[in-house]
Amino acid sequence: LASREFKRENTVVKVSRNVDIGGKKIHVMAGPCAIESRDLMNDTGKIVKEAGGTILRGGAFKPRSSPYAFQGLGEEGLKYMEEAGEKLHMPTISEAMTVEQVELLSKYCDIIQIGARNMQNYDLLKAAGRQKKPVLLKRGMAATVKELLLSAEYILSQGNYDVILCERGIRTFEDSTRFTMDLNAVPVLKKFSHLPVVLDPSHGIGIREHVGTMAKACIAVGADGIIIEVHPRPEEALSDGPQSLMPEQFRRLMEDLDLVAKAV
């Protein structure tokens, strides 16, 4: 179902509020790594919207490497993001790590994210496929492009055809960046599959000063959308501060991305 042989034309995933992913417009999904408070979602949402971002992101359930790190606000956080999305007329995206969270998120958010660490959590994929909201499926950090497509197949085979693929960097021997952004995946995915492809340069490189450069490369290589982490005070962020853009950097980047998009 995910393959180009099955469907020749590109899939356009319809999200709420007239946002289409996989169409002409390149969508920028931006916001903090984690939903930390009501104010953070309202303030960051406003920054994202004013700069031209179209989808508000924020994690309520965070897959942290350490069990002692901030794990997210859970349902309370989802309420804050839903509120901000309503006020700003922006669709929202957040990650589900369990089957129960899929059900909860489908009530509060417009897109359900399956994170890199859960790309091969097959029960979770099936649960995402049983509900109606679009699903953004992130590539596992040690998964091949073919494995990503097979995981997408799990969602599609349950009857949910609104799947967005996401490259977010893989693990290689290189340790001067957080992950290695596999830009090669884009032309390959586009050849093998009709599904839209979103890229996440924030997690891909993991270093604030380089996120913008890689974001431009993502547009040039043919992304249907990108994910950017933004925080009004990254030094205080409870998660992924070192890769979160400051508001002014985000504004400038959005102008540059427009120029790149026009050139390609």
Residue from 31, 53, 115, 196 that binds ligand PEP (CB under 6 A)?
A: 115
Rounded Cα distance, 84 and 38, in Å: 8
x/- binding map, residues 32-61, to ligand PEP, per CB under 6 A? -x-------------------------x--
Candidates 3, 17, 63, 187; binder of ligand PEP (CB under 6 A) is 63
Interacting partner of 168 out of ligand PEP, Mn ion, none (Cβ under 5 to 8 A depending on kind): ligand PEP
Question: What CA–CA distances, in Å, run from 242 to 59, 92, 166?
Answer: 16, 23, 21
Strand segments (E) across 84-217:
92-95, 111-114, 135-138, 163-167, 197-199
Site for ligand PEP in 127-166 (CB under 6 A): 138
Q: Which residues of 206-222 are buried (b: 16+ CB within 10 A; e: fewer)?
A: bebeebbebbbbbbebe
Number of residues that bind ligand PEP (CB under 6 A): 9
Q: What crossing angle do the helices spanning 208-220 and 247-263 adopt, rounded to 10°? A: 20
Among residues 27, 133, 168, 178, which is the contact residue for ligand PEP, using CB under 6 A? 168
Task: Enumerate binding residues for Mn ion (CB under 5 A).
Answer: 33, 240
Q: How many CB atoms lie within 10 A of CB 239?
A: 19
Strand 27-31, strand 20-21: pairing = unpaired
Least distance from Mn ion to the Cβ atom of residue 229, Å: 6
Choosing among ligand PEP, Mn ion, none, which partner's interface includes residue 138 (Cβ < 5 to 8 Å by kind)? Answer: ligand PEP
Measured from the CB atom, the residue of 47 and 116 that comes closer to ligand PEP is 116
Q: Given the complex with ligand PEP, which of 138 and 208 has the nearer CB atom? A: 138
